[in-house]
Structures are given as structure tokens and as C-alpha cells.
Amino acid sequence: MMFPLVLDLADDRIPVTVTCRVLGFSRQAFYKWRSNPVSQRD
């Protein structure tokens, strides 16, 4: 999953909205992952 990359880029002051748009997923999916980064299955 590319979500950790979003965090790295946010540290470099690239907005989450822009990164998610470029990578092709929603901000909602990113924030849902961020609230629980490891799935129950993992």
C-alpha cells in the first residue's frame, strides 16, 4: 500500500490531498488507514 509514502511526503510539506489525487486513491481511505494502520487480518 502507498499510504506510508503519503506520510513521508506530508513531512516534506506536500499536501495529503495532492498526493492522494496523484496516486489515485481517496483521502478518506488514507485517513481510515492512518487511524488503524495494521488490518485485523495482519
Q: How many domains are contained in the chain?
A: 1
Name, in order, each residue with C-beta under 8 angstroms of 5's C-beta and a sequence gap of 6 or more: 19, 23
Can you give the residue range of the structural domain that contains 8? 3-35
Residue 31: predicted pLDDT:
95
Residue 42 lies in a domain: no
Mean pLDDT of all residues in 3-18: 96
18-40 pLDDT per residue, tens:
999 999 999 999 999 999 877 66
Residue 40 lies in a domain: no
Residue 16 lies in a domain: yes
CA dihedral 27, 30, 31, 34 (to 10 degrees): -160
Residue 41 lies in a domain: no
Residue 23 lies in a domain: yes
Is residue 17 within 8 Å of residue 27, measured between CB atoms? yes
Kindly report whether the global pTM for this prediction surpasses the value 0.85.
no
Residue 10 lies in a domain: yes
Residue 14 lies in a domain: yes
- Give the pLDDT band of residue 1 (cuts 50, 70, 90): confident
Residue 30 lies in a domain: yes
